[in-house]
Amino acid sequence: LDGFPAARLVIVGDGPEKEELQALATEKGISRQVDFVGEVPHEHLPA
Separation CA 29–CA 7 (nearest Å) = 14
> Looking at residue 5, what is its pLDDT?
85
Q: Domain coordinates of the chain in residue numbers?
A: 9-40
Q: Residues in the chain, how many?
A: 47
**Angstrom distances, CA of residue 8 to CA of 38, 39:** 16, 18
Q: What pLDDT digit, counting tens, does each position of 8-26 carry?
A: 999 999 999 999 999 999 9
**What's the CA gap between 37 and 41, in Å, rounded?**
11
The whole-model pTM stands at: 0.78
Taking 80 as the threshold, does the pLDDT of residue 2 lie above it? Answer: no
